[in-house]
Structure 1
Amino acid sequence: MSIRDVASFAAGHWIAPDKTAREIASAITGEVIARAGTARLDTQAMLDHARTVGGPALRAMTFHDRARMLKGVAQHLEANKHLLYDLSFDTGATQGDHLFDVDGGIGTTFVFASKGRREMPDSHVYCDGPVEHLSRHGSFLGQHICVPLQGVAVHINAFNFPVWGMLEKLAPTLLAGVPAIVKPATSTCYVTEAAVRLMLDSGLLPAGAVQLVSGGLGDMLDRLTCQDVVSFTGSSTTAHKLRQTPALVANSVRFVAEQDSLNASILGPDVLPDTEEFDLFLKEVQREMTTKAGQKCTAIRRILVPQAQVDAVIDGLRAALQGVTIGDPRAPETRMGALVSAAQKRDVLQRAAQIGTEATRVFGDPDAFAVVGADKDRGAFVPPMLFHCPDPDQAIHVHETEVFGPVSTVMGYRDLDHAVALANRGQGSLVASLITADPAVARDVTLNIAAYHGRVYINNATSMKEATGHGAPLPHMVHGGPGRAGGGEELGGLRAVKHYMQRTAVQGSPEILSAITGTWIPEGPEYTTPDHPFTRRFGQLRIGETLHTKPRQVTSADITQFAQFTGDTFYAHMDDDAAARNPFFPGRVAHGYLLLSFAAGLFVQPDEGPVLANTGLDSLRFMKPVQPGDSIKVRLTVKAKTPRNADYGEVRWHVSLRNQNDALVAEYELLTMVAR
């Protein structure tokens, strides 16, 4: 069998391993299949390349440009993912595990590409929150903006997810406009290297956007500055060591960590055997114990059940785990593969023995289990091991020792307060799950464990068919947790992107802020053209382009006709005396929706043209009532423009209605699709 040389990609060049390289063994056979590592990496050259080549190239792109780039990269990976599958078997992962790692990573990249196009502007600046009015007459305003950091993100990843672990950090980093240096765990870096080669082969990434370290980082962390970010996934011991790097402390380098986590799953007191929820609970625990052979940071380590259900849960899990076939992950009948390495196997067995000092093993003898298609002594195989801790209040190891393998412990609780206390004994976890059909139980548990958990997953018969599972981090939701879990946040939609950006408060006049953000501000400058704006195509419209309409008087007959036509005969529109008794109205007033209809009649250009569709309105507010005899006029202004595809883009219009005294009556934002 040939040994694969796993290279690093540094400053635009592939660098092969040298004599200092570390050997990497197959998790299935124990044979050496690869080697990685070199002492020839010039870490300063890599950082310089990222900062001076990759960073400027990414920052020259808009958020939408970067989102399109991510989509293209994801499509290229999707088309070639079978290459990653083939390599990943030697990590001990089954085909089902590949769906979490390879497909999960690609899917995460697609999500960030979509969010970049839908939730971020086609701009270089992201506005974080509304404009703040800092002066009486509106000539001095404030706006929080986010811009890309001008450094590099160093991603130090764990061994268990060589593809997803890279892409879940890389996608938001590149969307933010920051280059990355990826350092995978050496034991599975051959899979990450293959994924990086595919991404580079796509031709979509600018030079310097992504570099790869297969092996050690050397002195790279000592060279980081305040513009750089370190994102780490791994053990708390390593995280603590890295956090104390003098350069990181001295330069206030951002450090995002996702580390040890003793995740718990709670069976609600309302759930009894022979119910859908009870079977769901057993299924969730069995899946989390055996997927990736339990080598997941989100796996269930502690199983909390009502004391009366302990025996039933143990019996149910024994039956579920008994049906799990262990063996060569390439074999179709295999349900659980191997641990990643012999060293990991030794670590799991050692830590399981610690759990065994406080709990009784009720399933899974590491000295007597069957393996299909492989030699269990040469490979890194262990069986799923289930323990029962009869006295969780006095136990220490079950609440402090994470066995990073297929090991979990059943504990009984007396009442919900006891269950909450046990869950929180983990001192900070990535996720806790609760299986219950009782909303009161769900509320009570959530309010009392949320402070200790990054995510609370609640499932029952209503949601079970579509729920994603206890251990499945989703790119839309925060992945991270307090305390032992590291105190960081990854994923979470645009929250993840902001980790790689600087939030800055910009203060100035409306014209200045509008120029910086690319978004029109109501107090900002206006532009008029001889043509009606609805006759102008997407590319012709300017931010701040404005139409002022003629006024229209609102009569009693208008109000009555609108009420009869729509059926909205609310007393404030029909009964002058009743309306006058209402503290908000001086008497009979026009319907708010009547005013919107009249506004559209004032500003719409009726002929066929580039305006294709009205897709909605946002931020509607009614400020002042309109009485019969009042007049309204409209100001329609191009606030922002967002390309959607080659045929059309979205135009966001600011619409304000004022009465005959120039008092603001209503305002909102209108969304239209306009041909390009």
Structure 2
Amino acid sequence: MTTSHYIAGRWVEGQGSDCISVNDPALGQPFAELMAASVAQVDQAVSAARGALPAWKITSASKRAAYLRGFAEQLGQRREALITLQMRNNGKPRHEAEIDLDDAIATFGYYAELAEQLPSKNRDVPLAAPGFSARTRLEPVGVVGLIVPWNFPLVTSAWKLAPALAAGCTVVLKPSEVTPLIEQAYGQIADALGLPAGVLNIVNGKAETGAALSNHNGLDKLSFTGSNSVGSQVMRSASAQCRPVTLELGGKSAIVVFDDCDVGQAVEWIVAGITWNAGQMCSATSRLLVQEGIADALLPRLQAALENLRVGNPLSEEVDMGPLTSQAQWLKVAGYFATAREEGLQCLAGGKALDRDGWFVSPTLYADVPKDSRLWTEEIFGPVLCARRFATEEQAIAEANDSRFGLVATVCSADLERAERVADALEVGHVWINSVQAVFVETSWGGTKGSGIGRELGPWGLSAYQSVKHVTRCLG
């Protein structure tokens, strides 16, 4: 049994009613277990954050920046252990786990730099009216709850934790019950750095723990990344208290390939967009829109590329794609395979679970998928790609935008003016042109429509944890 709750600067055992099994998805077997935090322990964590807030928010920006750089350095010192845990608990191939860790390190380093710039952001405001002066203060929003998903643990928590601490907020972090172990590193680092008790608190648990945190009246803000169904519950909890939220939710993103694109290069971008993390990404480009002039050449090459991917256990072999992270997700994806058969979809590759230990599925491609198919419209969260053909640029834009989601998109074309024009017309939060999904901490992350509210990363990520105050003084 693992002790995994970090409250008020101390490690404590869970007192909740749920026992959490931590699984190796490549084997389909548990390798650790822990007791969830109780509702009372969630309350203790929020109280600890509330108690630590007055001192933390007036801690100098330079000192907060030093702590953040300490987090980055300590993550690097734990490199091999964290990479191995990502591979074991998530099923990520080594190269993906390495990028995850590098992303988290870069995030803490970036927000350390922004923290040092905070004093210059408090400045005088020119007024047109005589006889008054005004100034701006950027203040921490207060105590924030952070609820993060299982597909990118360590990374998504860094995207929230680093800017929250930089802004002067205190936090209660709830990792996913599917991957509850890796975020323990943040508590261990807090201990090693001497971070004041209560500034960072970590509580693990299932739905009861998440509800206790999202409903807690001691929070000033909540930031959630996960499914739309849970996100709507989080939003209802926030609305009951008129509390601000940041929501990073689902996607059903398009990759648009024009007929002037190099076929081999297009295949590389398409495969990366649907098989990275076994397709378990809100940003997975799971809708392929391919122009008629290139479709007959591209689809067979894409079929072969997906069939040739090495799928297996990342801890015992060199692989391109690992298993799905949980049995629940494996069953969900298998259900979509059944739906595809019922709908009579044309399967060019995959379309089945693999007959081996663990939660493996085959990389899958369906061709000429109708727009009313469930597989075309619903987020699957697996390596399942649906393709349709288009004739004109206008048709491609219309079909790409015909979704209740609006997180990301990719445009592939040798005509850069056209690519930029299409990127501007797409109703999403982030567009890549002729690229894999490279995410940089300096750019924003978030979507439009049903893909969420607010932005993470970049200066926008810091602003999400700041409150703007103006002070106006009469000079008379």
Is 1:503 matched up with 2:468? yes
Report the Cα distance in structure 1 between the residues aligned to 2:63 and 2:170, rounded to whole angstroms: 15
Name the one with the larger helix percent.
Answer: 2
**Cross-structure match for 1:382:** 361
**Cross-structure match for 2:298:** 313
Is 1:12 matched up with 2:4? no
The match for 1:161 among 134, 152, 165 is 152
Partner SS, residue 366 of structure 2: strand
Report the TM-score, using the length of structure 2 for normalisation: 0.92
**Cross-structure match for 2:430:** 455
Q: Is the alpha carbon distance of 1:322 and 1:69 closer, same or farther for their aligned partners in structure 2, counting shifts above 3 Å?
A: same
**Cross-structure match for 1:175:** 166
Shift of 1:38: 3.5
5 Å-filtered alignment, 1:646-665, equals none
Q: Is the alpha carbon distance of 1:343 and 1:250 closer, same or farther for their aligned partners in structure 2, counting shifts above 3 Å?
A: closer
Runs (4+) of structure 1 exceeding 6 A deviation are none
Report the Cα distance in structure 2 between the residues aligned to 1:353 and 1:455, rounded to whole angstroms: 32
Structure with the greater alpha carbon radius of gyration:
1
Deviations, residues 474-522 of structure 1 (Å, cap 9, x unaligned): 211110001121133111x2211111111123222689xxxxxxxxxxx
**Cross-structure match for 1:479:** 445
Shift of 1:213: 1.0
Report the Cα distance in structure 2 between the residues aligned to 1:262 and 1:431, rounded to whole angstroms: 8
Report the Cα distance in structure 2 between the residues aligned to 1:390 and 1:47, rounded to whole angstroms: 48
Q: Which amino acid aligns with 2:126?
A: E
The match for 2:30 among 24, 29, 32 is 32
Partner SS, residue 14 of structure 1: strand
Deviations, residues 3-55 of structure 1 (Å, cap 9, x unaligned): x52521123332224563122322011222122314364332221210112x1
Query: 2:370·2:376 contact (CA, 8 Å) conserved in 1?
Result: no
Q: Which amino acid aligns with 1:98?
A: A
Report the Cα distance in structure 2 between the residues aligned to 1:92 and 1:220, rounded to whole angstroms: 28
5 Å-filtered alignment, 1:493-642, equals 493-508=458-473
The match for 2:405 among 422, 428, 452 is 428
Q: Is the alpha carbon distance of 1:51 and 1:494 closer, same or farther for their aligned partners in structure 2, counting shifts above 3 Å?
A: same
The match for 1:192 among 158, 179, 183 is 183
**Cross-structure match for 1:45:** 44
Report the Cα distance in structure 2 between the residues aligned to 1:337 and 1:303, rounded to whole angstroms: 22
Shift of 1:428: 2.9
Q: Which amino acid aligns with 1:134?
A: A
Query: 2:406·2:447 contact (CA, 8 Å) conserved in 1?
Result: yes
The match for 1:259 among 249, 262, 272 is 249
Q: Is the alpha carbon distance of 1:359 and 1:288 closer, same or farther for their aligned partners in structure 2, counting shifts above 3 Å?
A: same
Report the Cα distance in structure 1 between the residues aligned to 2:344 and 2:40, rounded to whole angstroms: 47
Q: Is the alpha carbon distance of 1:311 and 1:353 closer, same or farther for their aligned partners in structure 2, counting shifts above 3 Å?
A: farther
Q: Is the alpha carbon distance of 1:59 and 1:327 closer, same or farther for their aligned partners in structure 2, counting shifts above 3 Å?
A: same
List runs of 5+ in structure 1 lacking aligned partners: 370-375, 460-466, 512-676
Partner SS, residue 67 of structure 2: helix
Shift of 1:399: 4.0
**Cross-structure match for 1:442:** 419
Report the Cα distance in structure 2 between the residues aligned to 1:409 and 1:76, rounded to whole angstroms: 42
Q: Is the alpha carbon distance of 1:443 and 1:82 closer, same or farther for their aligned partners in structure 2, counting shifts above 3 Å?
A: closer
The match for 1:148 among 137, 140, 152 is 140
Report the Cα distance in structure 2 between the residues aligned to 1:82 and 1:215, rounded to whole angstroms: 26
Report the Cα distance in structure 2 between the residues aligned to 1:383 and 1:8, rounded to whole angstroms: 36
Q: Which amino acid aligns with 1:5?
A: T
Partner SS, residue 429 of structure 2: strand
Is 1:360 matched up with 2:333? no
Is 1:350 matched up with 2:315? no
Deviations, residues 196-246 of structure 1 (Å, cap 9, x unaligned): 243223224221111111114252333225x6111111110111122112x
Report the Cα distance in structure 1 between the residues aligned to 2:466 and 2:260, rounded to whole angstroms: 45
**Cross-structure match for 1:517:** none
Q: Which amino acid aligns with 1:408?
A: L
Shift of 1:178: 0.3
Deviations, residues 88-146 of structure 1 (Å, cap 9, x unaligned): 222211101202322211222112223333xx24x3x7337x7231324xx42333331
**Cross-structure match for 2:455:** 489
Is 1:242 matched up with 2:234? yes
List runs of 5+ in structure 2 lacking aligned partners: none
**Cross-structure match for 1:583:** none
Report the Cα distance in structure 1 between the residues aligned to 2:376 and 2:28, rounded to whole angstroms: 32
Report the Cα distance in structure 2 between the residues aligned to 1:12 and 1:401, rounded to whole angstroms: 42
Query: 2:245·2:453 contact (CA, 8 Å) conserved in 1?
Result: no
Report the Cα distance in structure 2 between the residues aligned to 1:78 and 1:441, rounded to whole angstroms: 41
Report the Cα distance in structure 2 between the residues aligned to 1:429 and 1:345, rounded to whole angstroms: 25
**Cross-structure match for 1:88:** 86
Q: Which amino acid aligns with 1:254?
A: P
Q: Is the alpha carbon distance of 1:21 and 1:61 closer, same or farther for their aligned partners in structure 2, counting shifts above 3 Å?
A: same
Q: Which amino acid aligns with 2:367?
A: H
Report the Cα distance in structure 1 between the residues aligned to 2:376 and 2:3, rounded to whole angstroms: 38
**Cross-structure match for 1:561:** none
Is 1:220 matched up with 2:213? yes
**Cross-structure match for 1:637:** none
Deviations, residues 56-80 of structure 1 (Å, cap 9, x unaligned): 2321222222122101111011111
Query: 1:6·1:35 contact (CA, 8 Å) conserved in 2?
Result: no
Q: Is the alpha carbon distance of 1:131 and 1:385 closer, same or farther for their aligned partners in structure 2, counting shifts above 3 Å?
A: same
Is 1:134 matched up with 2:120? no
Is 1:110 matched up with 2:102? no
Report the TM-score, using the length of structure 1 for normalisation: 0.66
Report the Cα distance in structure 2 between the residues aligned to 1:29 and 1:398, rounded to whole angstroms: 28
Report the Cα distance in structure 1 between the residues aligned to 2:347 and 2:462, rounded to whole angstroms: 44
Partner SS, residue 480 of structure 1: coil
Q: Is the alpha carbon distance of 1:63 and 1:509 closer, same or farther for their aligned partners in structure 2, counting shifts above 3 Å?
A: farther
Deviations, residues 257-292 of structure 1 (Å, cap 9, x unaligned): 111101111113432xxx3xx322211111222221
Pairwise CA RMSD of aligned residues? 2.2
Q: Is the alpha carbon distance of 1:6 and 1:339 closer, same or farther for their aligned partners in structure 2, counting shifts above 3 Å?
A: farther
Shift of 1:390: 4.6
Report the Cα distance in structure 2 between the residues aligned to 1:510 and 1:444, rounded to whole angstroms: 51
Query: 2:37·2:203 contact (CA, 8 Å) conserved in 1?
Result: no
Q: Is the alpha carbon distance of 1:303 and 1:148 closer, same or farther for their aligned partners in structure 2, counting shifts above 3 Å?
A: same
Query: 1:352·1:403 contact (CA, 8 Å) conserved in 2?
Result: no
Report the Cα distance in structure 2 between the residues aligned to 1:40 and 1:233, rounded to whole angstroms: 21
Shift of 1:332: 4.0
Query: 2:3·2:13 contact (CA, 8 Å) conserved in 1?
Result: yes
Q: Which amino acid aligns with 1:142?
A: A
Q: Is the alpha carbon distance of 1:23 and 1:331 closer, same or farther for their aligned partners in structure 2, counting shifts above 3 Å?
A: closer
Deviations, residues 313-351 of structure 1 (Å, cap 9, x unaligned): 211212222321111111342221111111110011113
Higher relative contact order (CA 8 A, sep 6+): 2
Q: Is the alpha carbon distance of 1:390 and 1:447 closer, same or farther for their aligned partners in structure 2, counting shifts above 3 Å?
A: same
**Cross-structure match for 2:225:** 233
The match for 1:295 among 276, 280, 285 is 280
